[in-house]
Protein backbone atom coordinates (compact mmCIF):
# COMPACT_ATOMS: atom_id res chain seq x y z
CA UNK A 1 0.00 0.00 0.00
CA UNK A 2 1.47 3.38 -0.97
CA UNK A 3 1.11 6.75 0.74
CA UNK A 4 -2.37 8.20 0.21
CA UNK A 5 -2.72 11.64 -1.36
CA UNK A 6 -4.81 13.63 1.08
CA UNK A 7 -4.78 17.24 -0.07
CA UNK A 8 -2.68 19.75 -1.89
CA UNK A 9 -1.72 23.12 -0.48
CA UNK A 10 -0.11 26.03 -2.36
CA UNK A 11 0.73 23.78 -5.28
CA UNK A 12 2.61 21.46 -2.94
CA UNK A 13 1.25 17.96 -2.66
CA UNK A 14 1.32 16.58 0.85
CA UNK A 15 1.51 12.87 1.29
CA UNK A 16 0.52 10.97 4.37
CA UNK A 17 2.68 7.94 5.07
CA UNK A 18 0.53 4.86 5.40
CA UNK A 19 0.58 2.51 8.38
CA UNK A 20 3.45 0.51 6.81
CA UNK A 21 5.75 3.35 7.76
CA UNK A 22 7.58 2.00 10.81
CA UNK A 23 7.37 5.23 12.79
CA UNK A 24 3.66 5.88 12.41
CA UNK A 25 1.96 3.70 14.97
CA UNK A 26 -1.31 2.89 16.64
CA UNK A 27 -1.55 2.17 20.33
CA UNK A 28 -4.27 1.09 22.76
CA UNK A 29 -5.21 3.16 25.80
CA UNK A 30 -7.77 1.95 28.34
CA UNK A 31 -9.05 4.35 31.00
CA UNK A 32 -9.46 2.04 33.98
CA UNK A 33 -12.46 1.90 36.35
CA UNK A 34 -10.72 4.22 38.82
CA UNK A 35 -10.37 6.92 36.14
CA UNK A 36 -14.01 6.60 35.09
CA UNK A 37 -15.30 6.65 38.70
CA UNK A 38 -13.18 9.68 39.56
CA UNK A 39 -14.59 11.63 36.62
CA UNK A 40 -11.24 12.52 35.07
CA UNK A 41 -11.82 11.12 31.59
CA UNK A 42 -11.68 14.54 29.94
CA UNK A 43 -8.51 15.59 31.76
CA UNK A 44 -6.64 12.47 30.73
CA UNK A 45 -7.88 12.50 27.17
CA UNK A 46 -7.03 16.15 26.68
CA UNK A 47 -3.38 15.36 27.41
CA UNK A 48 -3.30 13.08 24.38
CA UNK A 49 -5.18 15.56 22.23
CA UNK A 50 -2.80 18.32 23.31
CA UNK A 51 0.27 16.53 21.95
CA UNK A 52 -1.54 15.93 18.69
CA UNK A 53 -2.25 12.22 18.93
CA UNK A 54 -5.24 11.24 16.83
CA UNK A 55 -8.14 9.34 18.38
CA UNK A 56 -9.23 6.81 15.76
CA UNK A 57 -11.39 4.59 17.98
CA UNK A 58 -13.26 5.01 21.29
CA UNK A 59 -15.82 2.99 23.29
CA UNK A 60 -17.09 2.39 26.81
CA UNK A 61 -17.41 -1.24 27.83
CA UNK A 62 -17.28 -3.59 30.82
CA UNK A 63 -15.28 -6.57 29.57
CA UNK A 64 -15.44 -10.07 31.07
CA UNK A 65 -12.76 -11.91 33.07
CA UNK A 66 -12.01 -13.87 29.89
CA UNK A 67 -11.44 -10.69 27.90
CA UNK A 68 -8.96 -9.44 30.53
CA UNK A 69 -7.31 -12.84 30.79
CA UNK A 70 -6.53 -12.68 27.09
CA UNK A 71 -5.41 -9.04 27.36
CA UNK A 72 -3.15 -9.35 30.41
CA UNK A 73 -1.90 -12.93 30.12
CA UNK A 74 -2.17 -14.26 26.56
CA UNK A 75 -0.89 -10.98 25.12
CA UNK A 76 0.82 -9.31 28.10
CA UNK A 77 2.32 -12.41 29.81
CA UNK A 78 1.55 -10.79 33.13
CA UNK A 79 1.64 -13.90 35.34
CA UNK A 80 5.28 -14.66 34.52
CA UNK A 81 6.23 -11.00 34.89
CA UNK A 82 4.22 -10.03 37.99
CA UNK A 83 2.97 -13.28 39.57
CA UNK A 84 -0.43 -14.95 39.93
CA UNK A 85 -1.57 -12.82 42.85
CA UNK A 86 -0.92 -9.52 41.04
CA UNK A 87 -2.76 -10.92 38.02
CA UNK A 88 -5.80 -11.98 40.09
CA UNK A 89 -6.16 -8.67 41.93
CA UNK A 90 -5.73 -6.76 38.68
CA UNK A 91 -8.58 -8.71 37.08
CA UNK A 92 -10.67 -7.87 40.16
CA UNK A 93 -9.90 -4.17 39.75
CA UNK A 94 -10.54 -4.13 36.02
CA UNK A 95 -13.88 -5.96 36.21
CA UNK A 96 -15.13 -3.67 39.02
CA UNK A 97 -16.64 -1.18 36.55
CA UNK A 98 -16.76 0.11 33.01
CA UNK A 99 -13.68 1.28 31.17
CA UNK A 100 -13.19 3.41 28.07
CA UNK A 101 -10.88 2.07 25.39
CA UNK A 102 -9.18 4.31 22.83
CA UNK A 103 -6.97 3.71 19.85
CA UNK A 104 -4.51 6.54 19.35
CA UNK A 105 -2.44 7.09 16.22
CA UNK A 106 0.74 9.10 15.79
CA UNK A 107 4.48 9.05 15.30
CA UNK A 108 6.03 6.44 17.61
CA UNK A 109 2.73 6.57 19.46
CA UNK A 110 3.29 3.49 21.64
CA UNK A 111 6.44 4.73 23.36
CA UNK A 112 5.12 8.28 23.49
CA UNK A 113 1.95 7.20 25.31
CA UNK A 114 3.97 5.00 27.71
CA UNK A 115 6.11 8.03 28.53
CA UNK A 116 2.99 10.11 29.17
CA UNK A 117 1.43 7.34 31.31
CA UNK A 118 4.48 6.96 33.56
CA UNK A 119 5.73 3.86 35.33
CA UNK A 120 3.35 1.17 36.60
CA UNK A 121 3.64 2.01 40.31
CA UNK A 122 2.13 5.47 40.92
CA UNK A 123 4.43 6.03 43.89
CA UNK A 124 7.43 5.83 41.52
CA UNK A 125 5.84 7.58 38.53
CA UNK A 126 7.33 10.98 37.75
CA UNK A 127 5.34 14.17 38.31
CA UNK A 128 4.03 15.29 34.93
CA UNK A 129 3.03 11.78 33.95
CA UNK A 130 -0.59 10.65 34.21
CA UNK A 131 0.12 8.08 36.90
CA UNK A 132 2.43 10.47 38.74
CA UNK A 133 -0.07 13.31 38.68
CA UNK A 134 -3.30 11.45 39.40
CA UNK A 135 -2.46 8.54 41.73
CA UNK A 136 -0.27 7.68 44.72
CA UNK A 137 -0.55 3.93 45.41
CA UNK A 138 2.53 1.72 46.01
CA UNK A 139 3.07 -1.96 45.15
CA UNK A 140 3.69 -2.65 48.87
CA UNK A 141 0.32 -1.18 49.84
CA UNK A 142 -1.52 -3.06 47.08
CA UNK A 143 0.21 -6.26 48.13
CA UNK A 144 -0.63 -5.83 51.82
CA UNK A 145 -4.30 -5.19 51.03
CA UNK A 146 -4.73 -7.70 48.18
CA UNK A 147 -5.87 -5.09 45.68
CA UNK A 148 -4.83 -4.16 42.18
CA UNK A 149 -2.87 -0.96 41.72
CA UNK A 150 -5.37 1.71 40.57
CA UNK A 151 -3.11 3.54 38.16
CA UNK A 152 -5.68 5.24 35.91
CA UNK A 153 -4.63 3.97 32.53
CA UNK A 154 -3.51 1.00 30.50
CA UNK A 155 -1.17 1.73 27.60
CA UNK A 156 0.30 -0.82 25.18
CA UNK A 157 3.92 -1.73 25.94
CA UNK A 158 5.14 -1.31 22.36
CA UNK A 159 3.90 -1.21 18.79
CA UNK A 160 3.84 -5.00 18.39
CA UNK A 161 1.85 -5.50 21.58
CA UNK A 162 -0.45 -2.69 20.46
CA UNK A 163 -1.32 -4.56 17.27
CA UNK A 164 -2.45 -7.62 19.23
CA UNK A 165 -4.29 -5.52 21.82
CA UNK A 166 -6.12 -3.37 19.26
CA UNK A 167 -7.25 -6.48 17.39
CA UNK A 168 -8.54 -7.86 20.71
CA UNK A 169 -10.45 -4.71 21.74
CA UNK A 170 -11.62 -3.27 18.42
CA UNK A 171 -12.96 -4.51 15.11
CA UNK A 172 -11.71 -2.85 11.92
CA UNK A 173 -15.11 -1.17 11.44
CA UNK A 174 -14.70 0.59 14.81
CA UNK A 175 -11.54 2.40 13.66
CA UNK A 176 -11.88 5.60 11.66
CA UNK A 177 -9.89 7.65 9.18
CA UNK A 178 -9.90 11.42 9.10
CA UNK A 179 -7.36 14.21 8.97
CA UNK A 180 -6.16 16.33 11.91
CA UNK A 181 -4.34 19.65 11.63
CA UNK A 182 -1.38 18.10 13.50
CA UNK A 183 -0.79 15.79 10.57
CA UNK A 184 0.12 18.78 8.42
CA UNK A 185 3.11 19.37 10.71
CA UNK A 186 4.21 15.75 11.05
CA UNK A 187 3.78 14.47 7.51
CA UNK A 188 6.67 13.79 5.22
CA UNK A 189 6.53 16.45 2.52
CA UNK A 190 7.49 15.32 -0.95
P1 LIG B 1 1.65 -1.72 32.96
O2 LIG B 1 0.17 -1.48 33.14
O3 LIG B 1 2.47 -0.56 33.41
O4 LIG B 1 2.00 -2.18 31.55
P5 LIG B 1 1.81 -4.50 33.91
O6 LIG B 1 1.38 -4.96 32.56
O7 LIG B 1 3.03 -5.15 34.47
O8 LIG B 1 2.06 -2.92 33.95
O9 LIG B 1 0.64 -4.71 34.96
C10 LIG B 1 -0.70 -4.52 34.57
C11 LIG B 1 -1.47 -3.82 35.67
O12 LIG B 1 -1.58 -4.70 36.79
C13 LIG B 1 -0.80 -2.59 36.24
O14 LIG B 1 -1.07 -1.43 35.46
C15 LIG B 1 -1.40 -2.49 37.62
O16 LIG B 1 -2.70 -1.90 37.59
C17 LIG B 1 -1.55 -3.97 38.00
N18 LIG B 1 -0.43 -4.49 38.79
C19 LIG B 1 0.81 -4.78 38.33
N20 LIG B 1 1.59 -5.27 39.31
C21 LIG B 1 0.83 -5.29 40.43
C22 LIG B 1 1.06 -5.68 41.78
N23 LIG B 1 2.24 -6.14 42.19
N24 LIG B 1 0.03 -5.58 42.66
C25 LIG B 1 -1.15 -5.11 42.27
N26 LIG B 1 -1.44 -4.73 40.99
C27 LIG B 1 -0.48 -4.81 40.08
For residue 183, what pLDDT band results from cuts at 50, 70 and 90?
confident
- Give the pLDDT confidence of 106-131 residue by residue, as tens digits: 999 999 999 999 999 999 999 999 99
Q: What is the pTM of this model?
A: 0.88
Give the CA distances from residue 68 to residues 8, 56, 114, in Å, rounded to whole numbers and listed in that order.
44, 22, 20
C-alpha 60/C-alpha 78 separation (Å) is 24
- Ligand 1 atom nearest the C-alpha of 83 is 23
pLDDT of residue 44: 98
How many angstroms separate the alpha carbon of residue 81 from the centre of ligand 1?
Answer: 10
Q: Using one digit for the tens of pLDDT, what is the confidence trace for 76-95?
A: 999 999 999 999 999 999 99
Q: What is the pLDDT of residues 7-19, one digit of tens each?
A: 434 434 444 445 5
- Measure the CA angle with vertex 164, ends 159 and 169; round to 5°: 115
Shortest-distance Cα residue to atom 21 of ligand 1: 86
Higher pLDDT: 185 or 56? It is 56
Closest residue to atom 8 of ligand 1, CA basis: 120
Which are the catalytic amino acids? 154
CATH annotation of 22-177: 3.30.70.141
Domain ranges of the chain: 22-177
121, 103 Cβ separation under 8 angstroms: no
How remote is the CA of residue 24 from the centroid of ligand 1, in Å?
Answer: 27
Amino acid sequence: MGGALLFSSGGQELLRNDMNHPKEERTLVVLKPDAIQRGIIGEILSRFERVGLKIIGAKMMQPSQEHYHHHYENIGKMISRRGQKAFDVTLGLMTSGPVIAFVLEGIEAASLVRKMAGTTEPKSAQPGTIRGDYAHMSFAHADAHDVGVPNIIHASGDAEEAKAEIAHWFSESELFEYETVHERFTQTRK
